[in-house]
Structure formats: structure tokens, C-alpha cells
Homo-oligomer: A and B are copies of this chain.
Amino acid sequence: MAGVQGSALAIAVSNAGGLGSLPCAMLTPTALRDELQALRAGTRQPYNVNFFCHTPPVPDAAREAAWRSALAPYYRELGQDASAIPTGPGRTPFNDEAAAVLAEFEPPVVSFHFGLPAPQLLACVKRWGARVLASATTVDEARWLEAQGADAVIAQGLEAGGHRGHFLSDDLTVQMGTLALVPHIVRAVSVPVIAAGGIADAQGVAAAIALGAAGVQVGTAYLLCPEATTSAVHRAALQSDAVRHTALTNLFSGRPARGIVNRVMRELGPISPLAPAFPLATAAIAPLRAKAEAHARGDFSPLWAGQNTTHCRTIPAAQVTRDLVAGWGRLAD
């Protein structure tokens, strides 16, 4: 969960019996090395490192200008000089440099969002025996991932918070809820399937296992843990009534991701055709976010959350993890 956690949460989860995950999409090579050192110092249990592997888009000046023009009323309202706002990617896909840092640590599990890196690059992480996980939002994507060498497929249902992991089609209407998606993918591939989306407690784990999943991926339920770096405005939103309404939005990065509906999503609509391609949309909205957050407002913040927030509580990650693990005992053989 890039932006809301670092190694501390991953360590707590791994030490409690889960597979803690380090989001690396927004880390420089130096920061990545620091985090991996912290992880290695903090746990002797397996852990996962997660990367994005999108193809960086060609910047489109006209679209960028149209997007900034849509945001212009907000720049004026918040007293910001639009011409001083830089452009820039914000997120780097997995690359040779990151692979070189990983090789120093040989993490046991590496996961990818938005497909898989090129075969040569994927081979790098397989060299030390890392198990490779990747997200699929459709049966086609699951089959593709298996064919390309993924050791397990994460079936990401529509309930999931944060970025949709699709990479073969950006048509959101082909994507399914977790309850429908998991059985489809379990039937389509022979590698283990990890259910993601809407799972927040032992009941959800038992449900996923009943559907044929070999494991679950849980994010939202950890957002209020003290080990997470979730911002104050994000935490406040998660604890407010606003959490009852999430939507898929591309306003914050250019790709659809599920977050709590806030002012900019309401006013521009959660999906805008003007938002530049991922990850370029981030730059123009970032200063609005910063200014609003400085006044304790999340009007322009990506408040990522899944649809099931019934178990978001301010409790240690170890407790969340143990509650989830208890779900495995619920099913009779």
C-alpha cells in the first residue's frame, strides 16, 4: 500500500504470521535499500516486496493543459500559482536498478501490479528463487500471468481499495466482484489463487477459502494500525461516515483506484477523461492535496479504501493479522 505504509507494518504482519508486504512503487533505490535493511532487521519471517510495472506513458501536453484547466478553479481558490507546478511521473515501474537492490537482499516473495515486468527482468528476481505473485482482475489476465511465470495469482475483486491492477483491458465493466471472480480464476489456472477485495476479518477469510482461494490479500483493514503511515486526513475519513461511500476514481493518478468519495471526486466526477495517463495525473493535483491537508482537509487526497471497512480499527497490525488467520480454522475438510 504505497503511500500509507513502510517496513514497520510489513514487519508487524510477518511477525504475526502473515506475509508482510513492502510497497516499493514510490521508493528511490536508496530508500528501497533502507527499507529492506529495516525489514531484514525486524523479522526472520518471509516477506513480500511489491512493485508496479506499468509502461510509462508519453506525456501529452494538450491533455495536461486540459487537466490543469479543469483544476484551475481550485488553484485559484487555494491561492496557488499553476505555472509553478512541476510535471513528473511520481511512480517508477520496476526496473534494473530496483532489481539490483533486491539482489542484495533476495526477498522470498516479489509481487507486481499492472502485469509483470519484461521476461529478462522477471528472470532476475527468479534467479534467487523468489516466488512471484501478480494481480489479475479478469480470467484473461490470470491466464496471461500464469503463462508468463507467475507462481500465484492475486484475484483482485472490484471491492478492493487502491489501484485496480488491470493490464490487458481498461474496460472496468469486464471486472467482477470478489465472490464471482475467485471461482472463475480458480477454474482457469492451476497456480494458487489469492483472493483480494472486501476481505477484512476471519469471516471474509473463511468465505475466500470456501471459494477455492489458497490465501487472501488484505489491505484496508490495516489502514488504521499504528504501524501504518496513513495520513491524519485519511485516518479521519476512515473513521467518519464518509467511509460508507467509496468509488473508483482516476483523478489522483490517472488510473482507476478505489477511494473514499471526497470533494474533488464529487465535483469533477470520480472518473474524468481529462486526467492524464497514469501516473502523470498526480503532479497537477499534488499541490492542492498538500495545501488542503495542511488545513486538515482531504478534499484533494487519494483516500484509498476498499468497500469493506467494517474492521478498520486503531489496533496493532499483529491483532488484525491474528484475527484474519483465525479464519482458516472455520472450514471443515
Contact = CB atoms under 8 A, between A and B. Distances in A.
Interface stretch (A61-69, A83-91, A119-127, A304-312): A304-312
A179 B206 contact: no
Interface range for A: 35 or more
A187 interface: yes
A139 interface: yes
A110 B270 CA distance: 38
A31 interface: no
A329 B210 CA distance: 12
A225 to B, nearest CB: 19
Contacts of A327: 210
A199 B179 contact: yes
A45 interface: no
Contacts of A184: 308, 310
Q: Is the interface of A mostly helix, strand, loop or mixed?
A: mixed
Contacts of A330: 210, 331-332
Contacts of A177: 157-159, 177-179, 197-198, 307
A287 interface: no
A159 B173 contact: no
A245 B178 contact: no
A197 B173 contact: no
A139 B244 CA distance: 9
Contacts of A332: 329-332
A183 interface: yes
Interface of A: 139, 157-159, 173-174, 176-181, 183-184, 187, 197-201, 203-204, 206-208, 210-212, 244-248, 261, 270, 306-308, 310, 327, 329-332
Which 7 A-B pairs give the minimum distances between C-beta atoms? A177-B177, A180-B307, A180-B198, A179-B198, A206-B210, A207-B207, A180-B308
